[in-house]
Amino acid sequence: MDKRLCLALLLSLSAAGARAADFDELYAAPLPAPGAVLPEDRHAVTYSLRGLVTVYPDKTVLNTEDGRVFILELSKEEAAAYDDHIVELWGKAEASDDLDTIKVSSIKEYIPDPAAVIPPPRKGKFKPAKVLGEADGVLSVANMRWLGPEAQSHDFSWATATIHLGLLKEIYFVTKVQPPGIAGHSLLFYEFEDGGFIDSEGRKSKGFFLSVEAYAREGQSYSLLAGFKKTYNIIWLLTNFEDYAMQAAAFSDNWMNFYPLLADREGKLKMARDTVLLAAVNREDEWYHSTRNNCTNNLVTMINHSLPEDRRVKMWTIPHLIYNFYATTPPMVPGYLGRKGVLGPKAFTIDTGNYGDFLPPPAAR
């Protein structure tokens, strides 16, 4: 493995308090023998689902209780055995932006468990976005986590906002860095011209962040190693600029580095719209994974929405076997995408000393 890649992984694991034994899980799967044919399987996103199986002549589908419909990839024998039955299954979708088809890894008839424990509620800092409508390039979105620039603590609210896509100014890949200098989280920031992003009370913000996070429940804390073990579901969180920037730099001692996306106007507009729509997708029963479905690789997936096919980032180094760590490890992405001409050099940093310079002046609030 590349020395820089090893270093990035070591830093991430060190930040999570990893021990030598913790590396065993990363390398548990044996490598293929020389000359072996590698499976052409790029499924990266794990799902656990419950619903009704229906077999049609050309496909098998699962209808979930909350109204979602998935196409199932499984043998004809399994499909026939569970036709018109309520099942619970584990499987994988190809990617976070391609969830229609689930490749089934295990399936069984669902039998209610009267002793099943109801899990704790989700933490209150999370809510999935909800698209209320779209017309003439303007999106109306509920469940935007919102903080005013005058806030003295991270006492946020939930807002409904309008996004005027035509006023999109710039898109940035952002690393959130914590002392002593470890980039442990990544975000995307969508910056707008004045009036491009306004909530229902008339409050303006310079833009919104997409933060893909482990959808933790009350009592859970995040651990990189726990993220390998189907511990958390996943959420694509949308917040206004002040919410995440002030949380990082005003109310803690983190800092944020902003790298501009090098894509054409049409690509950026498509990416901004797709980001909001995908953030609003019902991801119940989708599982966070510390390398294949995390805070960073999903952002690179979104960046691919802005690029022509010949410039898109490959998410797998070896399909099914080795995920592209340069596209999934926060400190590696800016340099990797910079060398590919996808991101520009760092444009600016927001930290505890200068965050106020990026907030609107009092008279404009």
- Output DSSP code: residue 61: E
pLDDT digits (tens, 9 = 90+) for 260-289: 999 999 999 999 999 999 999 999 999 999
Average pLDDT on 349-361 reads 92
Percent of the chain with pLDDT over 70: 87
What's the pTM? 0.87
CA-CA-CA-CA dihedral for 198, 199, 203, 209, to nearest 10:
-70
- pLDDT-derived band of residue 316, with 50, 70 and 90 as boundaries? confident
Q: Where are the domains of the chain?
A: 45-109, 130-355
Q: How many CB atoms lie within 10 A of CB 220?
A: 16
* Sequential DSSP letters for 183-213: EEEEEEEEEE-TTSEEETTS-B-SEEEEEEE
How far apart are the C-alpha atoms of 332 and 349, rounded to whole Å? 17
Q: What is the three-class DSSP state of 247?
A: helix
pLDDT of 349 reads 97
Contact by Cβ (8 Å): 287, 47 = yes
> Biggest alpha carbon distance in the chain?
69
- Determine the 3-state secondary structure of 274 from DSSP: helix
Q: Tokens 């790029």 — which residue? A: 42
pLDDT grade, residue 317 (50/70/90)? confident
pLDDT band at 10 (very low <50, low <70, confident <90, very high): very low
Residues 201, 159: contact at Cβ < 8 Å? Answer: yes
Instruction: With beta carbons less than 8 A apart as the criterion, state whether 144 and 240 touch.
Output: yes
The domain made up of 45-109 has a fold known as OB fold (Dihydrolipoamide Acetyltransferase, E2P) (2.40.50)
CA 313 to chain centre: 16
Q: Which residues in 56-204 belong to E strands, given as ranges?
A: 60-64, 69-73, 86-93, 101-109, 130-135, 138-146, 157-164, 168-178, 182-192, 197-199
Q: 180: cis peptide before it, omega within 30°? A: yes
